[in-house]
């Protein structure tokens, strides 16, 4: 029989004078858990996919009879997210899955939720309130490892353009800090421009165009982009730069970028324009789009009385030119066997993120990320 976390909190409070610890209390009926998704910024492909995969998990075979999922979007507004979380608690939430706009701004509202027996799990970005659970990759390591790859490709010298993410989030702050620590070790590496790309290919194009208004490609040796390597390669191609001369780019796991990494001439279904194999020099990794879906699985496990870690540290999936592998159909088995770039015929949006596979979330795959449809 499933466990209600709020009932467990009340039981613990009643037993506190006897020195009891929090215990599992059976629910009166096999009713669904009321789980809310609180999203902040959604203006990019990563957020849309992560939400699709979380929604798909909620309607997958193991969870469709356990979860009643409701979704709200606050936008990049911490005060609005606070108000929405308060409303979710008042509406009877058993758990709240959160993409937090700030690591600290939500602390008080999250603590209030915890005090009322509501489970709070953040994915990708961090909530610092100790009662919250967090599911994410090591974002500073993402910044460090990507920058180290780029410095190595440049032989320790050259002009670098940085395109950052959504300001205020821990993802952006930690990635930037990691990269800058690396660049600072090399006196011959110069960051000639730093612009904000909001994890969006379209915004990256706009901001990179502004950089190119004051310098040309001959004055740029490499790019570090939280999102936008696909766009940077496309812009170089549009400027007449040969595939073999594309600047090395360390950045996101966009499918367009992964296809560009494949050796020129590779047969790819649906390839066209700059969404084609170029042999582009790339370091490609994402925040793992399944982290929201994994957060939902962990929340249900906790609500049912199981133990989950305060921090679920998700491993990065780093893809380079040596490890990029084309998927023919994008099946679960193909991904399990190591494919990590999908046919443009199946994924027409080159900005779509390809970091969707985890052995811990077999319920969700390509169709989940694309349209919210689970594997089973």
> Does any domain span residue 187?
yes
pLDDT of 169: 87
Cα(95)–Cα(189) distance, integer angstroms: 46
114, 153: one domain: no
Query: Where in the sequence is the domain holding 89, given as residue range(s)?
Result: 5-137+289-314
Cβ neighbour number for residue 20 with a 10 Å cutoff: 12
Does residue 178 share a domain with residue 198?
Answer: yes
Do 193 and 265 belong to one domain? yes
Q: Which residues, at least 6 apart from 226, have a Cβ–Cβ distance to it below 8 Å? A: 163, 164, 165, 171, 172, 175, 197, 199, 251, 252
- Continuous segment of H or E residues that includes residue 194: strand 189-196
Residues 150 and 209 grouped into a single domain: yes
Question: How far is residue 76's CA from residue 65's CA, in Å, rounded to a whole number?
Answer: 33
Q: Is 295 exposed, middle or buried (0-12, 13-18, 19+ CB in 10 A)?
A: buried
Asked if 133 contacts 308 with a C-beta cutoff of 8 angstroms, the reply is yes
Q: Residue 370 falls within a domain, yes or no? A: no
Would 324 be classed as within a structural domain? no
List alpha helices for 154-273, DSSP H. Answer: 170-184, 201-212, 229-238, 255-261
166 and 210 share a domain?
yes
Q: What is the pTM of this model?
A: 0.89
C-alpha span between 253 and 228 (Å, rounded):
10
Provide the domain count of the chain.
2
DSSP 70-138: EEEE--S-HHHHHHHHHHHHHTT-SEEEE--S-SSTTHHHHHHHHHTT-EEEEESS---STTSEEEE--
What φ, ψ does residue 276 adopt, rounded to 5°?
-155, 160
One domain for residues 153 and 240: yes
322 found inside a domain: no
Residues 85 and 101 in one domain: yes
DSSP state string for 239-300: TT--GGGPPPEEE--BHHHHHHHSPTT---TT-BTTBS-----EEE--S-TTHHHHHHHHHH
Task: Kindly state whether residue 351 falls inside one of the protein's structural domains.
Answer: no
Q: What is the CA radius of gyration of the chain?
A: 22
Measuring CA to CA, which residue among 265, 180, 262 is closest to residue 224? Answer: 180
Q: Are residues 54 and 108 in the same domain?
A: yes
Distance (Å, whole) CA 84 – CA 87: 5
Per-residue pLDDT of the chain (376 residues; tens, 9 = 90+): 344 444 444 334 333 333 333 333 334 346 999 999 999 877 788 999 999 999 999 999 999 999 999 999 998 889 999 999 999 999 999 999 999 989 999 999 999 999 999 999 999 999 999 999 999 999 999 999 999 999 999 999 999 999 999 898 899 999 999 999 999 999 999 999 999 999 999 999 999 999 999 999 999 999 999 999 999 999 999 999 999 999 999 999 999 999 999 999 999 999 999 999 999 999 999 999 999 999 999 999 999 999 999 999 999 999 999 999 999 999 999 999 999 999 999 999 999 999 999 999 999 999 999 999 999 9
Q: How, if at all, do strands 282-284 and 319-320 pair?
A: antiparallel
Q: What is the CATH number of the domain that holds 239?
A: 3.40.50.2300
Q: What is the pLDDT of residue 30?
A: 66
**Are 25 and 155 in a shared domain?**
no
| Residue 273 located in a structural domain | yes
Indicate whether 293 and 278 sit together in one domain: no
Residue 356 in domain: no
Considering the domain boundaries, does residue 222 fall inside one? yes
């Amino acid at each position: 029989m499933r466990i209600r976390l709020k009932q467990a909190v009340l039981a613990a409070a009643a037993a506190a004078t006897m020195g009891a610890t929090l215990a599992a209390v059976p629910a009166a009926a096999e009713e669904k858990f009321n789980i809310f998704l609180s999203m902040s910024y959604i203006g990019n492909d990563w957020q849309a996919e992560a939400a699709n995969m979380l929604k798909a998990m909620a309607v997958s075979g193991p969870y469709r009879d356990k979860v009643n999922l409701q979704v709200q979007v606050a936008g990049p507004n911490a005060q609005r997210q606070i108000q929405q979380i308060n409303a979710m608690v008042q509406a009877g939430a058993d758990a709240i899955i959160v993409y937090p706009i700030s690591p600290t701004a939500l602390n008080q509202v999250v603590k209030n939720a915890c005090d009322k027996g509501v489970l709070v799990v953040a994915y990708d970005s961090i909530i610092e309130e100790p009662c919250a659970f967090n599911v994410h990759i090591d974002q500073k390591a993402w910044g460090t490892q990507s920058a180290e790859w780029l410095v190595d490709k440049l032989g320790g010298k050259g002009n670098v353009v940085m395109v950052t993410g959504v300001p205020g989030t821990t993802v952006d702050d930690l990635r930037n800090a990691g990269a800058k620590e690396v660049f600072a070790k090399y006196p011959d590496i110069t960051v000639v421009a730093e612009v904000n790309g909001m994890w969006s290919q379209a915004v990256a194009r706009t901001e990179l165009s502004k950089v190119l208004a004051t310098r040309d490609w001959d004055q740029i040796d490499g790019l570090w982009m939280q999102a936008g390597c696909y766009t940077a390669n496309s812009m170089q191609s549009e400027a007449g730069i040969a595939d073999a001369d594309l600047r090395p780019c360390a950045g996101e796991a966009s499918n367009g970028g992964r296809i560009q990494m494949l050796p020129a001439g590779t047969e790819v279904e649906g390839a066209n324009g700059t969404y084609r194999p170029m042999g582009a020099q790339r370091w490609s990794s994402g925040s793992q789009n399944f982290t929201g879906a994994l957060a939902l699985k962990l929340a249900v496990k906790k609500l049912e009385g199981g133990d989950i870690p305060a921090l679920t540290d998700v491993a990065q999936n780093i893809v380079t030119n040596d490890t990029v592998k084309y998927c023919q159909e994008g099946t679960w088995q193909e991904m399990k066997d190591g494919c990590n770039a999908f046919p443009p015929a199946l994924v027409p949006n080159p900005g779509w993120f390809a970091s969707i596979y985890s052995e811990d979330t077999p319920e969700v795959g390509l169709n989940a990320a694309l349209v919210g449809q689970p594997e089973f």
